[in-house]
Amino acid sequence: WQEMIRGFLPWILLLALMFWFWGAAQKRMTQGGGPFDFSRSKARRAHKETSTATLDDVAGIESAKREIAEIIDFLKSPEKYRALGAVMPKGVLLVGPPGTGKTLLARAIAGEAEVPFYSISASEFIEMFVGVGAARVRDMFKEARKDAPALIFIDELDAIGRSRGAGLGGGHDEREQTLNQILTEMDGFEAHENVLVLAATNRPDVLDSALLRPGRFDRKITLDRPHKEARAAILAVHVRKVPLANDVDLDQLAARTIGFSGADLKNLVNEAALTAARESLHEVNAHCFDLARDRIILGEERDTKLNPQEREAVAYHECGHAIMAYYMPNADPLTKLTIIPHGMAMGVTEQTPREDHYTYTESYLKDRIKVMLGGRCSEKLIYGEVSTGAQNDLKEATALIRKMIGQWGMSEKIGPLGLNIGEEHVFLGREMGMPREFSEKMAEMIDEEIQSQLLALEKATLDFLTEHRNQLDALAKAVLKRETLSAEDVEEILRKEEARKIA
Catalytic residues: 318
- 3-class state of residue 321 by DSSP: helix
Tell me how far apart the alpha carbons of residues 320 and 318 are, in angstroms, rounded to a whole number. 5
With b for 16 or more beta-carbon neighbours within 10 A and e for fewer, the 417-429 pattern comes to bebebbeebeeee
**Residue 366 belongs to what H/E stretch?**
helix 362-383
Instruction: Report in angstroms the alpha-carbon separations of 102 from 108, 222, 407, 415.
Output: 10, 9, 30, 40
DSSP symbols for 242-253? S-B-TT--HHHH
In which order are the strands placed within the sheet that holds 150-155?
44-46, 117-121, 150-155, 195-201, 91-95, 219-222
Cβ atoms of 288 and 275 within 8 Å: the answer is yes
Instruction: Report in angstroms the alpha-carbon separations of 180 from 160, 163, 176, 183, 190.
Output: 10, 11, 6, 5, 18
Tell me how far apart the alpha carbons of residues 193 and 181 are, in angstroms, rounded to a whole number. 18
Burial class (CB in 10 A: 0-12, 13-18, 19+), 320: buried
**How much is the CA Rg of the chain, to the nearest whole Å?**
30
Tell me how far apart the alpha carbons of residues 269 and 292 are, in angstroms, rounded to a whole number. 8
**What letter would DSSP give residue 43?**
P
Strand-pairing partners, residue 152, are 118, 197
Look at phi and psi of residue 500 and say left if phi exceeds 0, alpha if psi is from -120 to 50, else beta.
alpha
Tell me how far apart the alpha carbons of residues 304 and 286 are, in angstroms, rounded to a whole number. 28
Indicate if the alpha-carbon torsion angle 318, 324, 329, 330 is positive or negative.
negative
Q: Give the residue among 242, 336, 333 at the shortest CA–CA distance from 289.
A: 242
Tell me how far apart the alpha carbons of residues 402 and 369 are, in angstroms, rounded to a whole number. 12
Tell me how far apart the alpha carbons of residues 311 and 265 are, in angstroms, rounded to a whole number. 33
**What letter would DSSP give residue 392?**
H
Tell me how far apart the alpha carbons of residues 158 and 122 are, in angstroms, rounded to a whole number. 8
- Other C-beta atoms within 10 Å of 214: how many? 10
Tell me how far apart the alpha carbons of residues 238 and 263 are, in angstroms, rounded to a whole number. 10
Cβ atoms of 155 and 200 within 8 Å: the answer is yes
